[in-house]
Amino acid sequence: MSQLNSRQQEAVSYTQGPLLVLAGAGSGKTSVITRKIAWLIQHQQISARHIAAVTFTNKAAREMKERVSALVPRSETRGLIVSTFHNLGLRILKQEQAASGLRRGFSILDQTDSRELLKELLHRGDSERDIEATDFIHARISKWKNELVLPEQALSTAANDDELRAAVAYGQYNRMLRACNAVDFDDLIMLPVTLFREQPRIMEKWRNRIRYLLVDEYQDTNSAQYELVRQLVEPLGRFTVVGDDDQSIYAWRGARPENLAQLQTDWPNLNVVKLEQNYRSTGRILKAANAVISNNPHVFEKTLWSDYGYGDPIRVVAMRDEDAETDWIAGDLFHQRLQRGLKWKDFAILYRGNFQSRLMETKLQSLQIPYKVSGGKSFFSRAEIKDLMCYFRLLVNPDDDNAFLRIINTPRREIGPATLEKLAGWAARRDQGMYHVCDDFALSEIMPAKSAEKLREFKQWLDAKRELCFRDNSTRAIRELISDMDYEGWLHQQSSSPRIGEKRVENIWTLVASIQRMLDKDEDGDADLETVIAKLVLIDMLEQQDDEDDTDRVQLMTLHAAKGLEYPHVYMMGVEEELLPHRTSIEEDTIVEERRLMYVGITRAKRNLTMSYAMTRRQFGEKVDTVPSRFIEELPQEDLEFIGEGVKIDPERADEMAEASIAGLRALLE
Ligand code: ATP
Ligand code: MG
């Protein structure tokens, strides 16, 4: 406690009623949560198994766990729930499976899978028009779920033909999910909420289980999450939520920063604690952050100050094109590290869109700078991993038609589309999953005997693996599965070069090894292969902001993924109109949200902040002139140091300089 300031202490020790900690970036909100967990256990004698803390990303949840274990001995944290919202939902659904209308081993569809399912339902293909139509309906359904709107309600409130079509699809889509014994990402919140509504006794049980609830990044909760929190904490209001309305950056996913204000209405006895001292950044960085965000309208007034000194100016770097921009960053980073004696992991490079990382990566590679990209092409989105995951999904849930369709011909089994169509028709008539009916004897009457035989063989083979998987509870079944179908051979055959083939084979064994690790670790005491696989499917979906190892590497990530994190030296690249603020937000006039993203980016920096932009950028193969972001103009100009084109270096010369510095650095390396 003595390490905290008096307001933080108040927030930690206040347990008489509901509490909201409303404060700007770096003021110790997350710290309050972790300290409070320790306080509740050690000073309020609330057993850890009655405490739950939730946040939004796996990475944040993991960090929170680590911070708690530094404060409380392991023996006292048994049963403590520190997880993401979605993991908490999954936990509830798993325990209340039957009541939620799910069967054992239900599967969780990620965004790609659920979109594929919808695409099939809508009979849409891959033309631009079809993609647009599918995406519209996909997003609409997700929004409904986040607002807890059921298909029937969607139907009755549809405002136009488009919405009506989406509402019809929503009903079909949900029926299909249930038929396949599957849930999608949004269901992980919506289903527990509806379950609690329908069966108050089950809700009571969970209220009794979670007697104190803490929520980080509260400004990003959507309606469904708000409701879940409300259900869990009523009527006593034993909760602490912390948030910053200026860091709400998930409106596009249904987040409602108004939920912060709503709390005051819903809980008249709500205690609000504001924190004002920032323990992260220098004065200049804070001044810049405050200046930018002051251009947004505000519900809550906040002030933020720091006594970490005024610090260095904020560098604004203008380069001729994206090549020069990324070269400059790589070179500067290398230089700064040497000069200041820093570690690679002291640096983060942030950008608006995942695609921006590619070029940066090549530049870092050319200087042999170790780096780690969080998000982007995640491990789990690689084809070989997706395939294997579908096998796993089918192992734990034989009704998963999506998974079945993905792997029935991977590797090739010569089961043609005509056969599959007949199989699907038959399965639908029997009201069963496609995999389930693969060994129906009647199949040979509706398709060539040879095809029916292939399907039967496939099912018998995989059934045997399932049996082994449940009996043996090790990765043996998985290893056999891979070798039986000569999956390695197939991967090599499918790859354009032996090196790529090797890499893909390596990836699948990495997956197997991590399953083995999860089995060995047995953290929650319920690690059977089935649970581990279900967990993996979920991690897969949350992988976006995931980052397991903390080896010494430069961190690359999107601004969204950077929320809650901090780094001594931060580069924000591509600070240009159309990138930040993003083009769609300019068109849709949602600049305020982009400004919050800018605010999040700036406030990640502890010591040094550098922003860069390219004056031209290639778009569809053509060089296009760009305009520096309007947010740069909103920064306090007296605190900026302009570098590059901004100080009138001849573009040719700038390139030469960049090249020379890189050559020099390379020489240094060798
Ligand atoms: P964000 O809004 O970005 O999520 P936050 O409000 O959650 O930030 P924290 O991450 O909890 O802030 O804290 C920011 C930094 O300040 C951390 O490095 C933390 O260890 C440090 N810190 C918090 N409180 C104190 C304190 N009283 N004394 C010294 N350092 C502190
Ligand atoms: Mg935080």
346 catalytic residue (yes or no): no
User: Are 596 and 631 a contacting pair, CB within 8 Å?
Assistant: no
Protein residue whose Cα sits closest to atom 26 of ligand 1? 4
> Rounded distance, CA 18 to CA 40, Å?
14
Identify the active-site residue in 216, 227, 401, 594. Answer: 216
Paired residues of 182 in beta bridges: 107
Ligand 1, atom 19: closest residue by C-alpha: 28
The DSSP string of 333-351 is HHHHHHHHT--GGGEEEEE
Which of 407, 410, 445 is closest to 425 using CA atoms? 445
Band (647; pLDDT cuts 50, 70, 90): very low
pLDDT number for residue 381? 63
Ligand 2 centroid – CA 24 distance (Å): 9
Mean pLDDT for 609-629 is 89
Question: DSSP assignment, residue 97?
Answer: T
Q: How confident is the model at residue 225 (pLDDT cuts 50, 70, 90)?
A: very high
| Residue 29 CA, ligand 2 centroid: distance in Å | 5
Most confident of 11-25, 609-623, 648-662: 11-25
Task: State the pLDDT at residue 317.
Answer: 95
C-alpha distance across the termini of the chain, in Å: 49
Identify the nearest ligand to the CA of 29 by its number.
1
Annotated binding site: 23-30, 280
pLDDT of residue 534: 72
Ligand 1 atom 24: residue of nearest CA = 28
Query: Residue 368 above 50 pLDDT?
Result: yes
- The rounded Å distance from CA 25 to ligand 1 centre is 8
The bridge status of strand 182-184 relative to strand 107-109 is parallel
Q: Which of 29, 59, 256, 630 is catalytic?
A: 29
Nearest ligand 1 atom to alpha carbon 600: 3
What rounded mean pLDDT belongs to the chain? 87
Provide the β-strand partners of residue 55: 84
CA-based torsion, 403, 405, 408, 411: positive or negative: negative
Q: Judge if the upstream peptide bond of residue 200 is cis by omega within 30 degrees of 0.
A: no
Which ligand 1 atom is nearest residue 31's CA?
A: 11
* Residue 646 scores a pLDDT above 60: no
Catalytic residue among 30, 219, 610, 626: 30
Annotated binding-site ranges for ATP: 23-30, 280
What is the band of 298 on the pLDDT scale with cuts at 50, 70, 90? confident
The per-residue pLDDT for 180 is: 75
604 is catalytic: yes
For the stretch 434-456, pLDDT in tens is 999 999 989 999 999 999 999 99
**313: DSSP letter:** P
Whose C-alpha lies nearest to ligand 1, atom 27? Answer: 4
Active site residue 247: yes
Please tell me the predicted confidence (pLDDT) of residue 112: 73
Q: Is the pLDDT at 648 greater than 50, yes or no?
A: no
- To test the ligand 1 pocket, which listed residue (30, 34, 600) has its Cβ within 8 A of the most ligand atoms? 30
Catalytic residue among 84, 134, 219, 247: 247
pLDDT, position 539? 63
Mean pLDDT confidence for 183-195: 95
Per-residue confidence band for 670, with pLDDT thresholds at 50, 70 and 90: very low
Which of the ligands is closest to the CA of residue 562?
Answer: 1
- Tell me what pLDDT residue 668 has: 47
Closest CA to 333 of 665, 557, 43, 25: 665
Of 650 and 73, which is predicted with more confidence?
73
pLDDT for position 377? 52
- Neighbouring-strand partners of residue 527: none
> Token pair of 424, please?
């699907």
Q: Which of 219, 293, 300 is nearest to 254 (CA)?
A: 219
**For residue range 529-584, what is the model confidence (pLDDT) as tens digits?**
777 877 776 665 554 334 455 678 999 999 998 999 999 999 999 999 999 999 98
Active site residue 29: yes
Task: Give start and end residues of each alpha helix (H) in 297-380.
Answer: 322-340, 357-366
Which tokens is 511 given?
A: 């997956």
* Cα-to-chain-centroid distance, residue 165: 29
Grouping H, G, I as helix, E, B as strand and the rest as coil, residue 647 is helix
Q: Which ligand 1 atom is at minimum distance from the Cα of 24? A: 2
Question: Could you tell me how far CA 336 lies from the centroid of its own chain?
Answer: 31
For the record, the structure tokens of 618 come out as 């290639």
Q: Tell me which ligand sits closest to the C-alpha of residue 606.
A: 1
**Residue with structure tokens 């969204």?**
560
* Entry field: residues in the chain: 670
310-360: per-residue pLDDT in tens? 999 999 999 999 989 999 999 999 999 988 999 999 999 999 988 788 788
- Beta-bridge partners for 81: 52
pLDDT, position 517: 72
- The residue annotated as part of the active site, out of 113, 184, 217, 594, is 217
Q: Are 351 and 574 in contact (CB under 8 A)?
A: yes
| 3-state SS, residue 240 | strand
- The preferred substitution site among 31, 37, 55, 603 for testing ligand 1, maximizing ligand atoms within 8 Å of CB, is 31
- Helix ranges (DSSP H) in 147-240: 151-157, 161-179, 187-198, 200-209, 223-233
4 SS3 class: coil
Collect all residues with Cβ–Cβ distance below 8 Å to 142 and sequence separation of at least 6. 185, 186, 253, 254
pLDDT reported for residue 222: 92
| Separation between Cα atoms, residue 569 and residue 605, nearest integer Å | 6
List all residues whose CB is within 6 A of at least one atom of ligand 1: 3-5, 8, 25-31, 244, 247, 279-280, 564, 566, 603
Whether 24 has a pLDDT exceeding 80, the answer reads yes
Q: Confidence band (pLDDT; 50, 70, 90) for 399? A: confident
Residue 318, classed as helix, strand or coil, is: strand
Lowest mean pLDDT among 284-298, 504-518, 638-652: 638-652
The dihedral formed by the CA atoms of 279, 280, 285 and 290, expressed in degrees to the nearest 10: -60
Task: Find the helix or strand (DSSP H, E) in which 508 lies.
Answer: helix 498-521
Tokens of 379: 């491990």
pLDDT above 60: residue 586: yes
Among protein residues, the one with the nearest Cα to ligand 1's atom 8 is 26
pLDDT for 665 beyond 80: no
Q: Note the pLDDT of residue 604.
A: 97
**Residue 110: DSSP 8-state:** -
Please indicate whether residue 607 or residue 158 has the higher confidence score (pLDDT).
607
Helix (H, G, I), strand (E, B) or coil at 214: strand
Span of 27-31, 77-81, 106-110, 522-526 with lowest mean pLDDT: 522-526
The pLDDT value given to residue 531: 76
Nearest residue (CA) to ligand 1, atom 16:
279
Among 540, 518, 558, CA closest to 86 = 540
- Say which amino acid occupies 288: A
By percentage, how much of the chain surpasses pLDDT 70?
Answer: 91
Its pTM stands at: 0.78
Tokens at residue 153, please? Answer: 């309600």
Half-sphere exposure of 71 (CA within 13 A, CB side): 21
- Give the bridge partners for 84, in sequence order: 55
How confident is the model at residue 151, as a pLDDT?
Answer: 95
